[in-house]
Amino acid sequence: MRGPHNILRLIRTGATMERTGAMGLIMEAMEAPPLVRGTMRCLAWPFQWLGYKGDPSMPPAVRALTALGPAYIKFGQILSTRPDLVGAELAQELRVLQDQLPPFSTEIAKRGVAQELGAPVDSLFDEFSEPVAAASIAQVHKARQRDSGAPVAVKVLRPGIERAFRRDIDAFYFAAGMIEFLSPASRRLRPTDVIAHFEGVVLGELDLRLEASSASEFAANTVGDEGFELPEIIWPLSKRRVMTMGWADGVPLGDNAALDAAGHDREALAARVLSLFLRHALRDGYFHADMHQGNLKVAPSGNIIAYDFGIMGHIDEYTRRVYAEILYGFIKRDYRRVAEVHFEAGYVPPDRDVDEFARALRAVGEPIFGMDASRISMGSLLSYLFEVTERFGMETRTELILLQRTMVVVEGVARSLDPQINIWQVAKPVVENYIRDSLGPRAMATHLTKTAMVLSRFGPRLPQMVEAALMRHSMPSPPPPPRRRRRDLVFAGMAGAVGALGLAGLGWLLF
């Protein structure tokens, strides 16, 4: 379904932004160049009558994103954690997208719960409140279990949410394909692969059984983490469209006034949320990938409580080591080592010059280290690093997309609690501990033991595997395919030219 009909959807996106007044507001907040700002508005203005009207009572940006649908709301949630990019005022406006969206009716939610769990709500819960939080995919009700009397949170998917997400993702695929066609230089960024990665994340978020499983695994990994806790999953009351977990009492992490009133140390909380994320990513390779303020609370004990486990990130052990060495190299300002790690991991083509790449990385890192602590930004580092890697032909690493995005979001959360936080100072001990534990002599012995165990499992089969490989190598190569006649090649070329012209026309309409 990724056809030209998606042009209307993408045009309607721009038209909605223009009609609601969000286009100019977001462009101004992000300090877009005047040429880009004027071009975008000129393209969108003639079509604004196609845009969704939205809720006039909402601020322009919130009004536009909620009208466009859940995938766009996700974009707004990310921006809400980045006051350094969009300004404090717009970031505060977008904060409502995290858990304060318009809810659907409680009666619809009750019918959905009864259908999923196979029993009337009144037979399962003594109480079932009106929605206490509503986000892009689901909403949450506070309830009380009939058998235990314990307070619980019941999460229910929005009606029709699967279809809405598929429609948006369909349009995103079309846009990615057009970008790759119209801008060959963009192909190294692999826009289609990025959308495919996003699609996989979202589809996992639409099955609450997977979210319950993720929460259970995350709890097992973090059971010993000081100052961190997770609500318990109630498995008998969790299905594909309904998930029940223990109720988390606490102050929302995004409410600084309430945190101050409760006597919590915001500077300590900022450092902890950042170090927890790095520890989970590096130590476990499994991290909460949606750590905005709407998914975090502070318990009366001072512990950070995380919930909403629909988006979790996973990175393998080798990639964790690469990521840690890159971070550690920047922290130590060892740009030669950072460059070598990029080459060793295959991130940069081997025909490029490592010394030249190291000098380019120095140009990225040194200005950042010369900044005041309040201005040191992981977002800035990634932005500058993007420019450098583009020059050296580095392709987008889809396995790092979620990690990089979450790093930026977590930094935004930490900076909203403590604008003066020094990102490098907080990250340094976590990265150093990981480097010591994963690259030291004990780690080397562990890796060799694992390798020996794998080889021992395949030991009885090694002779047959070697023999099969030798036989394949000795077999004659298949004959080459028959050459196509010149007439066929001419027709194929004409067809390709017509197709290219058609796509170019569609691209002109789109952009």
Query: 413-416: which pairs have CB atoms within 8 A and are 24 or more residues apart?
Result: 413/81, 413/253, 413/270, 413/273, 413/291, 413/292, 413/293, 413/296, 414/270, 414/271, 414/273, 414/274, 415/83, 415/84, 415/270, 416/81, 416/83, 416/91, 416/254, 416/256, 416/293
> In the annotation, is 126 catalytic?
no
The pLDDT confidence band at residue 391, using thresholds 50, 70 and 90, is confident
341, 322 in Cβ contact below 8 A? yes
Lowest model confidence (mean pLDDT) among 20-34, 138-152, 325-339: 20-34
Q: What is the pLDDT of residue 469?
A: 73
The pLDDT confidence band at residue 18, using thresholds 50, 70 and 90, is confident
Task: Say yes or no to pLDDT of 203 above 80.
Answer: no
- For the chain, the average pLDDT equals 78
- Percent share of the chain, pLDDT over 70: 73
Task: Say yes or no to pLDDT of 483 above 60.
Answer: no
Q: What is the pLDDT of residue 205?
A: 78
How far apart are alpha carbons 247 and 154 in whole angstroms?
Answer: 9
DSSP letter string, 321-360: HHHHHHHHHHHHT-HHHHHHHHHHTTSS-TTS-HHHHHHH
Task: Say yes or no to pLDDT of 457 above 70.
Answer: no
Task: Say yes or no to pLDDT of 489 above 60.
Answer: no
Residues 306-336: tens digit of each pLDDT: 988 888 888 888 888 888 888 788 878 899 9
Task: Say yes or no to pLDDT of 499 above 50.
Answer: no
- Pairing type for strands 228-229 and 304-306 reads parallel
Domain spans in the chain, listed from the N-terminal domain onward: 6-98, 162-204, 249-455
Question: Which of these is catalytic: 225, 290, 308, 418?
Answer: 290
Q: Is 146 helix (H, G, I), strand (E, B) or coil?
A: coil
Q: Greater confidence, 36 or 28?
A: 28
Q: What is the pLDDT of residue 372?
A: 64
The pLDDT confidence band at residue 486, using thresholds 50, 70 and 90, is very low
Q: What is the pLDDT of residue 180?
A: 75
Q: Greater confidence, 227 or 326?
A: 227
Average pLDDT over residues 113-121: 93
Which residue is listed with tokens 């845009």? Answer: 51
What are the strands, taking DSSP E only, across 386-505? none
